[in-house]
Amino acid sequence: MIALLLRDLRLAIRAGGGFGLGLAFFLIVVTLVPFGVGPEGGVLARIAPGILWVGALLACLLSLDRIFALDFEDGSLDLLATAPIPLEGVVTIKAVAHWLTTGLPLVLAAPAFGVLLHLEGSANFWLVLSLALGTPALSVLGAFGAALTVGLKRGGLLLSLLVLPLYVPTLIFGAELVRRGASGMETQVPLLMLAGITAACIAVVPFASAAAIRVNLR
Amino acid sequence: MSIWEYANPKKFMQTSSWALPWVAGLALIALVTGLVWGFFFTPEDYKQGSTVKIIYLHVPSAMMAINIWVMMLVTSLVWLIRRHHVSALAAKAAAPVGMVMTLIALVTGAIWGQPMWGTWWEWDPRLTSFLILFLFYLGYMALWEAIDNPDTAADLTGVLCLVGSVFAVLSRYAVNFWNQGLHQGATLSMDKEENISDVYWYPLLLCIAGFILLFVTLVLIRTRTEIRARRLKALEARERMA
Amino acid sequence: MNALSVTDLAVSRGGLPVLEGLGFTLAPGRALVLRGPNGIGKTTLLRTLAGLQPPLAGQISVPPEAMAYAAHADGLKATLSVTENLRFWASVYGTGTIARALDDMNLRQLADRAAMSLSAGQKRRLGLARLLVTGRPIWVLDEPTVSLDAASVALFAEAVRTHLAGGGAALMATHIDLGIPEAEVLDLAPFKARTPEEGGMSGGFDEAFE
Amino acid sequence: MMTDLGKYADTVLAAYAVSIGLLLAIVIWSLWKGARVKRALEAQETRMGRRNG
């Protein structure tokens, strides 16, 4: 399992920009939004949680189709499915690798982007916390979507259509947590919901993803 | 005789061809009667004026939008557990009907909202939930279309339906939390029978029955089509092999 | 004691039966070559044996954790070196050592090269080296010698013989000579699935109505 | 006979028109697709010479 994780991370780094690509996309979104809505600090700070969350979501979506597609094309997925690691474990590791290469960099870089959008100190804290709690769910659910579409040639757009509705609860609670945290309101409910959704996703969704992969390899 | 016998395609084709005219006829009678009754012979609401007549379309379609998804969930489960092909095809057949129902609920809601709330679209929890449900229907149908092998498609859409159901419910809760419905309750609260007077209630019941029967009719027709399409595909494949 | 035994097996591809009534056994130390024209279902059969798809009918009996499957595609990562590719599979199968596989497949000089810079034949050898590091006794190989030159085929045959001598078994599908004359040959053509009119099984649901 | 819909006539009529239009669309589509597949299947069965329906 660890070997698989190391291999995936190594592949992401060698492929060039495994870590950087999502981050660069995130930066572009954050740069473009002020051009769209105007440079007014107050407005930006108010919509910043939403922008950053939607940006994180799209950045995550960008690299989803690569989770299984590469391994499917070169035959590794067949070999992994017949290897002594349970397929559920493979799926989970793949999602973890995806999170480490896209989710984690976003979490770490989020305060910098928050500053660009005039988020204040405490809001930045909530932003990092919400992203850290929420992005793992994005990767796990994304792996599920990727597992469903792994055999398809034109899977990219379909993948987005399948995955985005699944992201709604995480997006809502994530952005709401930042908004409430920034304005000093009660944060317990969105915090618990966000963490709960992520925990439940990690625990349950890999089984569905593994089932989907098995069906696709038939 | 067990209910599972209807999962045999032969038996299903026989039974459905016998039942179809009856169900279709009843659907037509119930829908026409209910809608005519509601449209021409019910009074205006003192607050909402004649817009109250939209409930005869809005409420049944909204109910069906949700119930059809539940039906798809049940048939998907039956397919995944007992591997009855007719069940999977019934789920496939129901999805476009559900999508149209969702669309009707959304459009009538928006048209109704325009004079009532002064805006076509309000990010009201219910409307938003239906928009999300609409996306789920779209994704489900797109996945069916994208996969060539019918058994693979049935399996994958079944799994998607399962996971999607959980997230649809979760989204409903999340959306409620996100925007605590400023508008619901202010309008007619339709869930509580006692808030609706009998004058509106009876034609509404008839319309609901009509929508259900129409749905059954459509699912029977479409499932028959899907079964035939699969037989056609199998015959073509065999012809190529021979 | 058989390593692998198959009775009355039927396999399907895309919902249509392709092979039926198939039965054979494979004892330790023996090799079996499956032959047949393209499209007969060699790959489908091997995928079924490897557990990637369920059989339409019949039994496959194989000891648990005994089989190593190698497909058409080698499953190599182009950006990883030969050693890294092998190390990965060795640790997945929990065997650890890759030195012998490198020697047996004559990959020593290439050990640090990235897989993408290998020739087609060298890649194939690396794919076969992957089999060696799995440490599994039963090899299931799909077209193992495609794109290998004569010397490499001999190298492959040698590796298979060593494996068999060590009590292993090998099941190979191919339509070209493998250079292993002592292997038994099973022609799949007589097992081609019959159409329903001829008394064969139908694809199940697809055709059964009216 | 036409009931008086008052100032909301446009709204109500639009809602009915759109809904009934959508319902008709799916009904017609289902019937058309059903007929098309049925015809294609019959043609295929005839061609393969095993008409037994």
Residue of chain C nearest B84, judged by CA positions: C205
Average pLDDT of the residues in B10-21: 87
For D3-52, write each residue's pLDDT tens digit: 666 777 788 888 899 999 999 999 999 999 999 999 999 898 888 775 44
CA distance B54 to D10: 12
Among the listed residues B127, B153, B126, the one whose alpha carbon sits nearest the alpha carbon of residue B140: B153
For B138-186, write each residue's pLDDT tens digit: 999 999 999 888 888 999 999 999 999 999 998 888 888 777 644 444 3
Q: Is the pLDDT of residue C207 over 70?
A: no
Contact C210, B14 (CB under 8 A): no
Contact C94, C68 (CB under 8 A): no
Q: What subunits touch chain A, counting only 3 or more CB pairs under 8 A?
A: B, C
Residue A35: how many other CB atoms lie within 10 Å: 8
Query: Is it the case that chain B and chain D have 3 or more CB pairs lying under 8 Å apart?
Result: yes
Q: What subunits touch chain C, counting only 3 or more CB pairs under 8 A?
A: A, B, D
pLDDT at residue B194, as a whole number: 47
D30 near B CB under 8 A:
yes
Distance from CA of C194 to the nearest CA of D (A): 16
Q: Is the pLDDT of residue B1 over 60?
A: no
Q: Is the pLDDT of residue C133 over 50?
A: yes
Q: Which residue is it, tokens 């640090």?
A: C112
For B61-90, write each residue's pLDDT tens digit: 999 999 999 999 999 999 999 888 889 999
Concatenate the DSSP letters of all residues of A64-113 into one string.
Answer: TTHHHHHHHHTTHHHHHHHSSS-HHHHHHHHHHHHIIIIIHHHHHHHHHH
Average pLDDT of the residues in C156-175: 84
pLDDT at residue B211, as a whole number: 94
C210 near D CB under 8 A:
yes
Please name the member of B135, B149, B163 whose beta carbon is closest to the beta carbon of A208: B163
pLDDT at residue B46, as a whole number: 67
Where does the pLDDT of residue B91 fall: very low under 50, low under 70, confident under 90, or very high at 90 and above?
A: very high
Is the C-alpha dihedral spanning B60, B63, B69, B70 positive or negative? negative
Please name the member of B10, B149, B233 whose beta carbon is closest to the beta carbon of C209: B10
Token output for A177: 């947590």
Q: Which residue is it, tokens 């007969």?
A: C40
C77 near A CB under 8 A:
yes
Question: What type of residue is A46?
Answer: R
For A93-129, write each residue's pLDDT tens digit: 999 999 988 888 888 888 888 888 888 778 888 899 9
CA distance B165 to D17: 31
Query: Is it the case that chain A and chain D have 3 or more CB pairs lying under 8 Å apart?
Result: no
pLDDT at residue A200, as a whole number: 93
Binary contact (D52, C210; C-beta < 8 A): yes
Long-range contacts of D1-5 (CB under 8 A, 24+ apart): D1/B40, D3/B39, D3/B40, D3/B50, D4/B50, D5/B50, D5/B53
Concatenate the DSSP letters of all residues of chain C into one string.
Answer: --SEEEEEEEEEETTEEEEEEEEEEE-TT-EEEEE--TTSSHHHHHHHHTTSS--SEEEEE--TT-EEEE-SS----TTSBHHHHHHHHHHHTT----HHHHHHTT-GGGTTSBGGGS-HHHHHHHHHHHHHHH--SEEEEESTTTT--HHHHHHHHHHHHHHHHTT-EEEEE-SS--S-TTSEEEE-GGGBPPPGGGTPPP-SGGG---
Q: What is the CA radius of gyration of chain A?
A: 18
Binary contact (C15, B235; C-beta < 8 A): no
Token output for B146: 């994208």
CA distance C39 to C7: 22
Distance from CA of D52 to the nearest CA of C (A): 7
Binary contact (D15, B231; C-beta < 8 A): no
Length of chain B: 242
Residue of chain A nearest C93, judged by CA positions: A84
CA distance B98 to B134: 9
Question: Best mutation site among B159, B165, B180 for testing chain A: the one with the most A CBs within 10 Å?
Answer: B159
HEC sequence for C39-99:
CCCHHHHHHHHCCCCCCCEEEEECCCCCEEEECCCCCCCCCCEHHHHHHHHHHHCCCCCCH
CA distance C207 to B232: 8
pLDDT at residue B189, as a whole number: 46
Cα→Cα distances C78→A26, A96, A205, B140, Å:
29, 22, 30, 35
pLDDT at residue A67, as a whole number: 85
More confident residue, B58 or C3: B58
Residue of chain C nearest D42, judged by CA positions: C210
Among the listed residues C50, C55, C46, the one whose alpha carbon sits nearest the alpha carbon of residue C17: C55
pLDDT at residue B139, as a whole number: 94
Where does the pLDDT of residue B242 fall: very low under 50, low under 70, confident under 90, or very high at 90 and above?
A: low
Among the listed residues B68, B78, B33, B35, the one whose alpha carbon sits nearest the alpha carbon of residue B54: B35
CA angle in degrees (0–180, nearest 5) for A50-A31-A59 = 60
| Contact pairs from chain A to chain C, CB under 8 Å | 72
Where does the pLDDT of residue C50 fall: very low under 50, low under 70, confident under 90, or very high at 90 and above?
A: confident
Instruction: Kindly give the confidence (pLDDT) of every residue in chain A, 218 residues in length, as a single tens digit, with 9 standing for 90 and above.
Output: 777 888 887 777 777 656 677 788 888 888 888 888 887 877 888 888 888 888 888 888 888 888 888 888 888 888 888 888 889 999 999 999 999 888 888 888 888 888 888 887 788 888 999 999 999 999 999 999 999 998 887 777 899 999 999 999 999 899 888 888 888 788 888 899 999 999 999 999 999 999 999 998 88
CA distance C127 to C105: 10
DSSP state of B128: H
Question: Best mutation site among D37, D38, D42, D46 for testing chain B: the one with the most B CBs within 10 Å?
Answer: D37
pLDDT at residue B84, as a whole number: 85
D53 near C CB under 8 A:
yes
Cβ contacts (< 8 Å) between C118 and chain A: which residues? none
Long-range contacts of B7-12 (CB under 8 A, 24+ apart): B7/B78, B7/B82, B7/B84, B7/B85, B7/B86, B7/B87, B8/B86, B8/C208, B9/B85, B9/B86, B9/B227, B9/C205, B9/C208, B9/C209, B10/C208, B10/C209, B10/C210, B12/B86, B12/B223, B12/B227, B12/C209
